[in-house]
Structure 1
Amino acid sequence: MVKEQADNKVYLRIIYLITILIPLVVAFLIFFPTKFGAEGDWVKVLPGVHAAINSLTVLALIAALISIKKGNIKLHRSFMFTALFLGVLFLISYVLYHSSVESVKFGDLNYDGELSEQELAKAGTSRMVYLVILASHILLSILVVPFVLFAFYYALTDQIDRHKKMVKFTYPVWLYVSITGVVVYFMIKPYYF
């Protein structure tokens, strides 16, 4: 029992550490313009890879929901671990991309990193729609991380009632984040050079 409690404390500390580190790394990438990542044009394909990963995550999450509704816990667990693996893969790729190249601006038709009045006018209200979707995507992606990790923790430690309560909020948010990741990519794709 004492070892189990010690193990639980270790897992909980890991969850808290990950919950703090992810937003700090992302904030660092956004607010410190010095790039230190990979070089070469291959890095520019990563946003498309991110959209593919998010699409696969959506499919895994939906398949997991269908599996659990049918009572297939083993298959549900497999799909959820797949979704978690895809999330980790996405995060690694996302950090690699944003540490390597400048972020693309929605509406930047001449790819100079600046938005002229003409570019802003041409983007119109679609830019505001994009920014609202992007902001909700980023905010919720940060907020959902600890809930996802706790949901996994509760499932793996057989605290199923707590797991069920956690996923009532977590699942739709994770699904929203994954779907909007794809939407954001296709909205900004015309501005990639």
Structure 2
Amino acid sequence: MTLTEKQVNRGITIISILIPIVVAVLFGVRLPDVEPLSFLPPIYAGINGLTAVLLIAAVWAIKNGKRLLHQRLMTTCIGLSLVFLVMYVAYHMTSDSTPYGGEGWIRYLYYFILISHIVLSIAIIPLVLHTYARAYMKNFERHRKLARITFPVWLYVAVTGVVVYLMISPYYT
């Protein structure tokens, strides 16, 4: 059975709505009898960093005609993003949120980066899925057009994930 573009788009819309809702709901769930997973933040920050590096490598690959390498790198980035999301939710289900302790202008910078990171991490879900689906369906012209938007947004989300971690890490207890 071959899926139509309309069916794929409908699935992407559903997934793009469900993921933020499920994450928001799970943020309200605390697992009191589970040891806090306090070792996870540097791991998932590392996953964000690795995703950023692989995104850049994937752009290099496609610009040098290495389509299969590009495809594998992009699929890996999607997988890493899913692993990140699971770890991030697991951490927040077992640990209290860490308040940022910086003061002055750095506090405003932190919150600007954090809020833009969160908003764009929600927006990137349909962008990545549509971009990937267009390539999968061999609609490479539309894939390229959307990838020009998706790549910088995804790279920003990956890099700012690391920056947010580095800025808040001194305040973890």
Is contact 1:147-1:170 (8 Å) kept? yes
Residue identity over aligned pairs, in percent, reads 43
What pairs with 1:138-157 in structure 2 (closer than 5 Å)? 138-157=118-137
Q: Which runs of 5+ in 1 are unaligned?
A: 108-121
1:14, CA displacement in angstroms? 2.6
User: Where has structure 1 moved over 2 Å in runs of 4 or more?
Assistant: 6-14, 25-30
The 1:151/1:123 distance shift into structure 2, 3 A limit, reads same
**2-side partners of 1:38 and 1:70: how far apart?**
51
- Alpha-carbon distance between aligned partners in 2 of 1:8 and 1:164, rounded to the nearest angstrom: 17
Report the number of matched residues: 173
Q: Check conservation: 1:51, 1:181, Cα contact below 8 A.
A: yes
Task: Give 1:65's aligned residue.
Answer: 59
Greater Rg, structure 1 or structure 2?
1
Deviation at 1:36, TM superposition (A): 2.8
- Paired with 1:37 and 1:137, the residues of 2 have a C-alpha distance of 28
Superposition deviation, residue 8 in structure 1: 4.4
Q: Which residue of 38, 49, 74 corresponds with 2:43?
A: 49
Task: Tell me the SS of whatever aligns to 2:97.
Answer: coil
State the AA in 2 paired with 1:138.
Answer: I
Residue aligning to 1:95: 89
The verdict on how the C-alpha distance between 1:38 and 1:181 changes in structure 2, with shifts beyond 3 A counting, is: farther
Q: Which amino acid aligns with 2:134?
A: Y
Amino acid at match of 1:93: M
Whether the 8 Å contact between 1:57 and 1:178 is mirrored in structure 2 is yes
- Which one scores higher on RCO, CA 8 angstroms, separation ≥ 6? 2
Equivalent position of 2:30 in the other structure: 35
- State how far apart, in whole Å, the 2-side matches of 1:9 and 1:92 are: 29
Equivalent of residue 11 in structure 1, options 8, 12, 21: 8
Aligned residues of 1:38 and 1:96 also touching (Cα < 8 A):
no
Mapped to 2, the partners of 1:176 and 1:125 lie a distance apart of: 21
Q: TM-score, normalised by structure 1?
A: 0.84
Unaligned runs of 5+ in 2: none
Normalising by structure 2, what TM-score?
Answer: 0.93
Contact 1:54 1:179 in 2 (8 A): yes
What's the offset of the Cα at 1:38? 7.3
1:128 deviates by 1.0
The 3-state SS of whatever aligns with 2:103 is helix
Cα distance change, pair 20–38 in 1 and its aligned pair in 2 (3 A): farther
Aligned equivalent of 1:76: 70
CA distance in 2, matches of 1:37, 1:150: 38
Residues 183 and 159 of structure 1: CA distance in aligned 2, closer, same or farther (over 3 Å): same
Q: How much is the aligned-residue C-alpha RMSD, in angstroms?
A: 1.7
Structure 2 distance, partners of 1:44, 1:10, is 40
Query: CA distance change for structure 1 residues 38 and 156 in 2, over 3 Å: closer, same or farther?
Result: farther
